[in-house]
Amino acid sequence: MLFSRALALSVREAYKPSKTSDRKPEPKEIIEIPSSDEEDNNEDVQLQSDVQRAIEASKAQSASSSRTYSPQDSISPTISPPAISAPSMLVRSSNAFPFDRAQLERERLERQKRLRPDLVEAQSKPQLDNEDEETDENVNMNGRSAKSTRPTTGKAPRATTSGTQSKEPADAYFWNGELRQTANKYVEPSKDTRPLFRLTDILAPRDEISFAIISAYCVDFPWMYSFFNPSTPVIIVAQDSQGNETMKEVLPNWIKTTPFLRGGRGCMHMKFMLIFYKTGRLRVVVSTANLLPIDWRDIENSVWVQDVPLRPRPIPHESKANDFPAAWTRILHSLNVAPALITMVKNGHTDLPISRLEDLRRKWDFSKVKIHLVPSLAGKHEGWPKVLQSGHVALMKAVRDSGARTPKGKELVLECQGSSIGTYSTQWVNEFYCSARGDSAEEWLDQPKSRRTKLPYPPIKILFPSDKTVKESALGEQGGGTMFCRRSQWEGAKFPRTLFHDSRSKSGGVLMHSKMIIATFRDTGPSSKGKAPQSDSETEPESDDEVVEVDAQGREEDKVIGWAYVGSHNFTPSAWGTLSGSGFNPILNNTNFELGIVFPLRSAEELERVACWERPPRKYVLGKDEPWMQSESAYFAEE
């Protein structure tokens, strides 16, 4: 053990950044800092091997850094994409990084059986399903989904949306914010007409990046390592299989940190990047994509990017600030990033653009950022100051701050697009709907619980691909590896089957991993008061969903027709949280770490630019349509 530690320290010293030389030392072996958990050490053996491959690949790439990246570079600069034509994808090759979700999940469950038999038993109980469905995203990555891209941007994050397919310079700036879909290998050419994002567009110019903090639920480390210069320090936030707060050096100049999850349940589901450039510019990225090749090639995701300039001089720290950068600071602290930042400095990176997380607000000018962050922070939050900073209550505050609260006399219609289905009750759906309207949770909690549990479902459309849509997509069943709905959910006695609508991408036969909510106002008619739509007709009238423009302040810029959300949240209780307590002392429980953005919609045209699905969505015909259920597909059956 002492020898291993000495060797690890030697490797670290070899990679310590030098201020006087640009020489890139040759790595001899990559050994992670020893962990006191012997099981954890055994688990990392495969990763060490893959890390070595990544280093060699990056060295080779650095030697040819002058070459121009092609669009395909955003798919995989150093690793060829696997074949997609046969079930052989289910077999992990000996020289490929293990990012098969099905295999990862089986290995995780086996570890839990050995180390946490009590947790395995608890997870098998039906009543815990609604707090654990988000872990399903780790199940199958071998299937490929498809996707396309278009530049979607709301007026708040007003973006440049001109042009069709014209590729921007790799170092294009987005000072006013930009929302787009990701590039996709399987998009129908006739529908591939709007700007899009590739990973090489976002992480560019590569050699100008001085530091990065990135986060995702699933990460292909060798693949991601190849997008950065080997000398660039990176902190990566990810998921610990046991839900422990951990910190490790997993690659030269890379530190992996994980936050604590109560009882090992839930997941760190946030997907974001903070990219610091040598020029002083900061690039902020919030997306729906994991850091895997298929998420940037085969399935459709959404990405918001905004560049932020450095202030002429730092401003004083304000401990009570509650703006955009202050929200980022709280989020990063909750993710265990602060200790990783300290460790990075101790490891020799003394010239990082930030020495503490509070520097984000002090050093950068976020005055052009018009969107609002909406995080879910795993854990129990009690009292209004804390409850307002997480989950659907944070959504409520963001909707209000955006000037998009549902006006009196209007009704809010929600279209909720996601890739994972939750276990729903009328109480939770109405609880979420209350926040989505911008109404205080205090009003909701002060209602008798007996009344809350008996309310009808509000006007919400849950978008999820039907079994037919998946099978007819570009990749067929193998493309449905990131879509999750269980038979036990769908056939539940009180499950809201009448709210389901088919999810079909505007880009053609590709499947969407995007998580997005479109909220619009409509006039309240005599037939809609207090009633949720209950029709099972395939041709449910859409006239009731006519969008209404609200001019609250009498100024053109204040006109809104609703709002949009984009981020990691699926429409589930695990993602958005559940309320309890009273209006005087509320309690919010969040199972997952999630992150997204909210901005107002100001016109029907803007709404259509933002929405990534065909509207209006087609309602399921009960008895004919069923949601895609991956577990019932022969393609994903365990051997």
Q: What is the pLDDT of residues 6-26, one digit of tens each?
A: 434 433 443 344 333 343 333
DSSP label at 262? G
Task: Give the residue with greater pLDDT, 268 vs 107.
Answer: 268
Q: What mean pLDDT, rounded, does the chain reach?
A: 78
Mean pLDDT in residue range 523-533 = 53
CB burial readout 120-131, b (16+ within 10 A) else e: beebeeeeebbb
- Lowest average pLDDT, out of 61-70, 81-90, 425-434, goes to 81-90
Residue 60 in this model has a pLDDT that exceeds 70: no
Q: How far apart are CA 104 and CA 87, in angstroms?
A: 17
pLDDT digits (tens, 9 = 90+) for 238-262: 999 999 999 999 999 999 999 999 9
- Could you tell me the pLDDT band of residue 490, with boundaries at 50, 70 and 90? very high
Give the mean model confidence (pLDDT) for residues 497-521: 96
Residue 68 pLDDT > 50, yes or no? no
pLDDT band at 2 (very low <50, low <70, confident <90, very high): very low
User: What's the whole-number mean pLDDT along residues 122-127?
Assistant: 32
pLDDT of residue 401: 97
pLDDT score at 107: 53
Q: What is the pLDDT of residues 70-80, one digit of tens each?
A: 333 333 333 23
> Which pLDDT score, from 0 to 100, does residue 566 have?
98
pLDDT for residue 39 is more than 50: no
Q: Is the pLDDT of residue 378 over 60?
A: yes
Q: Mean pLDDT throughout 503-515? A: 95
The pairing of beta strand 234-237 with beta strand 254-258: parallel
Confidence class of residue 50 from pLDDT cuts 50, 70 and 90?
A: low
Instruction: Please state, in angstroms and rounded to a whole number, the distance separating the CA atoms of residues 372 and 598.
Output: 5
Higher pLDDT, residue 552 or 80: 552
Comparing 472 with 161, the larger pLDDT belongs to 472
Instruction: List pLDDT tens digits, range 566-613.
Output: 999 999 999 999 999 999 999 999 999 999 999 999 999 999 999 999
Report the length, in residues, of the chain. 639
* Closest of 411, 453, 419, 467 to residue 436, by C-alpha: 411
User: Is residue 160 scored above 50 in pLDDT?
Assistant: no
How far is it, in rounded angstroms, from Cα 220 to Cα 292?
Answer: 5
**Contacts by 319-324, CB closer than 8 A, 24 or more apart:** 321/361, 323/361, 323/366, 324/366, 324/369, 324/371, 324/372, 324/373
The arithmetic mean of pLDDT across residues 302-312, rounded, is 98
Q: How confident is the model at residue 194 (pLDDT cuts 50, 70, 90)?
A: confident
- Pull the structure tokens for residue 146: 């498809």
Instruction: State mean pLDDT over 612-630.
Output: 97
As given in the structure block, the two tokens for residue 422 are 């939750």
For residue 495, pLDDT over 50 is answered with: yes
pLDDT at residue 129, as a whole number: 32
Burial class (CB in 10 A: 0-12, 13-18, 19+), 557: exposed
User: How much is the pLDDT for 284?
Assistant: 98
Q: In whole angstroms, what separates CA 553 from the centre of its chain? A: 34
Higher pLDDT, 561 or 17: 561
- At residue 545 the predicted structure's pLDDT band, cuts being 50, 70 and 90, is low
614 vs 116: which has the higher pLDDT = 614
The mean pLDDT value for 194-216 works out to: 95
Confidence check: pLDDT of 521 > 50: yes
- pLDDT for residue 53: 59
Asked whether the beta carbons of 324 and 373 are under 8 A apart, the reply is yes
- The mean per-residue pLDDT over the stretch 316-337 comes to 96
pLDDT score for 558: 75
CB contact at 8 A, 184 and 148 = yes
Given a cut of 50, whether residue 84 has pLDDT beyond it is no
* The pLDDT value given to residue 598: 98
Integer angstrom CA distances of residue 68 from 24, 60, 232, 409: 22, 15, 20, 56
Percent of the chain with pLDDT over 70: 68
For residues 240 and 316, give the distance between their C-alpha atoms in angstroms, rounded to a whole number: 36
pLDDT at position 270 over 90: yes
| Interatomic CA distance for residues 601 and 559, integer angstroms | 9
So what's the pLDDT on residue 152? 37
Q: Judge whether residue 620 has pLDDT over 50.
A: yes
- pLDDT band at 46; cut points 50, 70, 90: low
76 vs 456, residue with greater confidence: 456
184 burial level (CB within 10 Å; 0-12, 13-18, 19+)? buried
**Comparing 69-83, 424-438, 528-542, which segment has the lowest mean pLDDT?**
69-83
Lowest mean pLDDT among 41-55, 239-253, 454-468: 41-55
pLDDT band at 1 (very low <50, low <70, confident <90, very high): very low
Res 40: pLDDT: 40
